[in-house]
Amino acid sequence: MSGMTTRPDRGGDLPPRPPGVPEIPAQPGPEAAAAGPPPAVPTAREADEPAATTGADPAVEAEAAPRPDRAQYGVVAFLALVGGLVIFDATTRIGRAINTADPIGPKPVPILLGVLLLVIAVIYAVDVARGGRGEPEAGEDVDLSLPVDWRTVLLLIGAFLVNAVLIDRLGWVISGTILFWGSAYALGNRHYVRNLLIAVALSLITFYTFAIGLGVDLPAGVLQGIL
C-alpha cells in the first residue's frame, strides 16, 4: 500500500515533517513601554570586578594635593630681613630735614621701601604655605641641560672689576666705556667700533644725567676740567 507510512520500529524511514514555525516573541504592551527599558544585566566579568567606591582614596588625594616648597621660605626670610634692616637703618642713622626746602627729609622713602618688602614677604609666605610654586624655566632660548659658560661669566666679572679699579683714577667716562664695551664683548658681540661708540655715548649720558639730573658728581678722573 503506497499511501501508508512505515514505522521506525520495523526498519523503515521516518516520514518527513512539515517545517517548524518560528516562535514570535511577545511584544511589550503599553505598560512596559511606559516603565522604560529593562535594567542591564551585568556580564560575568563585570560581576567579578569589585564595585568602584564613590569617594577617592585619601592617600591619592594627599599625593595630588600641592605640597609647600619649604626652600622658598628662605627667600621669604631674606625679604623680611632686608625690609627690617632698611627700616632700622632709616629710623636710626638717617637724620631729619636740615632745611625748609626739603620738609619731608630722606627718611620716608627707605621706610616705605622697607614696609613694602615686609608686605611682599608676608604675601609670599602665604602663597608658599598654600602650595604655590614658581613655573619651571620655560627656556626662552636657554638650554638648561648645557653646562655653565664660565668664559662669559669670567669676562663679565673682569669687566666689572676693571671698572671698579679704574673709576677713581681714570674717571667714570673711561671706566664706564670699558665696562660697556667689555660686557658687549663678553656676551658675544664682535662689532668693535660700533660698540665703542655706543659705550662712549652711554658713559657720557650717564655722567651728565647723574650730575645735572640727580646732583651726583661721578668721578671725572683724568678728564677733570674737560667734562
Tens of pLDDT along the chain (227 residues) come to 445 555 555 555 555 665 555 556 556 555 555 555 555 555 555 555 554 444 555 555 555 555 667 778 888 999 999 999 999 988 887 766 555 666 666 778 888 999 999 999 999 999 888 887 766 555 556 666 778 889 999 999 999 999 999 999 999 999 999 999 999 999 999 899 999 999 999 999 999 998 888 788 889 889 888 87
Residue-level pLDDT at 186 = 94
User: Does residue 115 contact residue 87 with C-beta atoms inside 8 Å?
Assistant: yes
Left if phi > 0, otherwise alpha if psi is -120 to 50, otherwise beta: which for 97? Answer: beta
H helix count then E strand count, the chain: 8, 0
Q: How many residues does the chain have?
A: 227
Residue-level pLDDT at 109 = 83
CA–CA distance, 47 with 45 (Å, rounded to integer): 5
Residue-level pLDDT at 98 = 58
Residue-level pLDDT at 13 = 58
Q: Which letter does DSSP use for residue 28 in this model?
A: P
The residues, any chain, with a CB within 8 Å of residue 82's CB and separated by 6 or more, are 114, 117
pTM: 0.45
- Please say whether the dihedral angle defined by the alpha carbons of residues 40, 41, 46 and 47, taken in this order, is positive or negative: positive
Nearest to 177 by CA among 146, 148, 193, 198: 198
Cell 653646562 sits on residue:
147
Residue-level pLDDT at 110 = 87
Q: Where are the domains of the chain?
A: 72-95+104-129, 150-223
